[in-house]
Structure 1
Amino acid sequence: MNIEELQWFVTLAETEHVTDAAAELGISQPTLSRSLARLEAQVGAPLFARLNRRLQLNSYGEILLEHARRSIGEMRSATERIAALRDPETGTVRLAFLHSQAGGFVPDLLRRFRIEAPRVQFELFQGPAHTILERLANGRADLAITSPRPSDHPWRVLYVERLCLAVPRGHRFAGRARLRLADAADEPFVALRPEFGLRLLTDELCLEAGIAPPVVFEAMEIPTMEGLVAAGFGVAVVPVPRPDRAEPGAVYVPLIETTAKRQIGLTWSPDREMPPTARRLVDFIMHIRHDLT
């Protein structure tokens, strides 16, 4: 039972005459009759009462007509929604991004893009890197701004953040101009949960430095880490913040290691076709990315 045959059935139910319905549909009468026979075979019951040369819906046909009209309407609505999604002028972009990008980079990006494309809609998701990749994989996101670089995904670097060690004010490292991570081997660490991207980078840096510091708390967001550092719970590896977003109770000491950095990049699923609206956003981001950092 396909949508076209359901449409033929609805026309036949409205005209109550095979010849008239066939003429309206632009098909032959035998084609319409065979289609009706297939429908009746599929539902397992006759759909019309035959009265001379006319057809009149019976109770079975009335049930099918109700559902056929509903199905046709739903398919039309789905088609219209898909067309809207694919329209680069009025479509929808499903964008996922890291918690840490919500305070400046992403809002600034969206503000600029909406000036150029005011009718484009957004479905936004804010979360950790592993959840972002899951959304790309299952088709719930078109694009992602994330870190670190996911394997086997397209990748466009947007900018690079230097990493530092956040320490409480008055800490023995607070007056340092720079610091080796190995110097903090005996310090308690505040970190993100193990599956988070920044935690993976932190663990790699500690491994390179030959240290395994105790983690006293695993947070969900960087501001939580910084707040706990300011409260004296420990130290934390975090991106060097913008001056207006630094935690007042913390001091940010740059790390000497050349690998102490985090790439923020744009990615998408390699297995799914990118909608035109999302492609438009990619082109826009790559054109203005240097103005956003």
Structure 2
Amino acid sequence: MELRHLQHFVAVAEDQHFTRAAERLMVSQSGLSASIRALERELRAPLFVRTTRRVTLTEAGRALRAEAERILAQVRSAHEAVAAVQGVLRGTLALGTEQCIAGVHVASLLAAFRRRHPDVEIRLRQAGSGALAEEVAAGRLDMAFAYRTQADSDQLRSVSLTSEPMTVLCHPSHRLASPGAALTAQDLAGEVFVDFHPDWGPRRTTDAAFTAAGVRRTVALEVNDVHSLLDLVDENLGIAVVPRHFRHKRPALTALPLKGTGEAEYETVALLPPERATSPAARALVTLLETGGLAPPQDGPQAS
């Protein structure tokens, strides 16, 4: 099994199209098709279901994709490790992050990283914490900044960044908007909620807190970005339960402490593969984060 066969297979799996994959790889379509056929012959299994519009993975193809991505990530790490020993950090840093993550200012961190390591190509992907954890574990991302969704495993480890309580945001004219009032999950029963997709860290934290309190809630307005959430609350269309640092993004809203939720705090972490599989670029970014003093104060207005 040749590495180029795996590279070609992963490209077709990502693009779901032979022509687009061939263009991205800068190979002929016939050569790409021959490479896939050779891999299928070796594995004695079809890897794709081909139609006139796109190709999709078979069950065997889905099984191979996870392993192929891990193998290619390890090969890339090996090349980068040799370059690092020679004193030059090269290659690619594939980083994932949730929006407005606490404990790190991602833009400032990446700017500092680029100044120190200009030969490293930075790729950034924004997604929910659940998806980011899966991509780091599968080798598609070198690391990610996310909400802690699971305990450490043999495929994923975490470095804690910060933790903070959840806060209720509402319009100043809302019936709950009493300055300094502390609310419980029971106080919020029956309210209209604005929240994120279930894969996001804040949503997972809130869902866990209400489940633990035995209070059912319905998310009537579901969004995928922070500013849309704040806009909806600002129009008094619902309330939101969010990490405490969100309150600085819209000072006109009323922020109220959420009590009685036990240990349901919002903990953000850097997600990494096992130490042996961590790329030199990811190690350099973690070192910069730990020693550079780049994270703004958790409660400050510049919290990302």
TM-score (norm 2): 0.62
What is the CA-CA distance between 1:223 and the residue it aligns to? 2.5
- Structure 1 segments of 4+ aligned residues over 4 angstroms from their partners: 79-82
2:289, 2:295 within 8 Å by CA — same for their partners in 1? no
Identity across the alignment (%): 27
Counterpart of 2:250 (choices 246, 258, 270) is 246
Match of residue 121 from structure 2 = 121
2:109, 2:294 within 8 Å by CA — same for their partners in 1? no
Map residues 111-150 of structure 1 onto 2, 5 A cutoff: 111-150=111-150
2:208, 2:264 within 8 Å by CA — same for their partners in 1? no
Q: Relative to structure 1, is the Cα distance of residues 242 and 133 closer, same or farther in structure 2, using a 3 angstrom cutoff?
A: closer
2:210, 2:216 within 8 Å by CA — same for their partners in 1? yes
Aligned letter for 1:93? Answer: L
Alpha-carbon distance between aligned partners in 2 of 1:230 and 1:135, rounded to the nearest angstrom = 34
Alpha-carbon distance between aligned partners in 1 of 2:241 and 2:96, rounded to the nearest angstrom = 24
1:226, 1:247 within 8 Å by CA — same for their partners in 2? no
Helix, strand or coil at the partner of 1:87? helix
Aligned letter for 2:165? Answer: R
The alignment status of 1:215 with 2:228, answered yes or no, reads no
Return the index of the structure with the highest Cα Rg. 1
Aligned letter for 2:279? Answer: P
Alpha-carbon distance between aligned partners in 2 of 1:254 and 1:111, rounded to the nearest angstrom = 34
What is the CA-CA distance between 1:94 and the residue it aligns to? 0.8
Helix, strand or coil at the partner of 1:99? coil
Q: Relative to structure 1, is the Cα distance of residues 272 and 135 closer, same or farther in structure 2, using a 3 angstrom cutoff?
A: farther
2:145, 2:270 within 8 Å by CA — same for their partners in 1? yes
Gaps of 5+ in 2: 3-74, 298-304
Alpha-carbon distance between aligned partners in 2 of 1:188 and 1:176, rounded to the nearest angstrom = 20
The alignment status of 1:165 with 2:168, answered yes or no, reads yes
Match of residue 97 from structure 1 = 97
Q: Relative to structure 1, is the Cα distance of residues 268 and 162 closer, same or farther in structure 2, using a 3 angstrom cutoff?
A: same
Match of residue 156 from structure 1 = 159
TM-score (norm 1): 0.64
Match of residue 83 from structure 2 = 87
Q: RMSD of the alignment, in Å?
A: 3.2
Q: How many residues align?
A: 217
Between stretches 269-278 and 190-199, larger displacement belongs to 269-278
Alpha-carbon distance between aligned partners in 2 of 1:108 and 1:197, rounded to the nearest angstrom = 22
Alpha-carbon distance between aligned partners in 1 of 2:275 and 2:76, rounded to the nearest angstrom = 24
Alpha-carbon distance between aligned partners in 1 of 2:293 and 2:193, rounded to the nearest angstrom = 33
Map residues 232-243 of structure 1 onto 2, 5 A cutoff: 232-241=236-245
What is the CA-CA distance between 1:291 and the residue it aligns to? 4.3
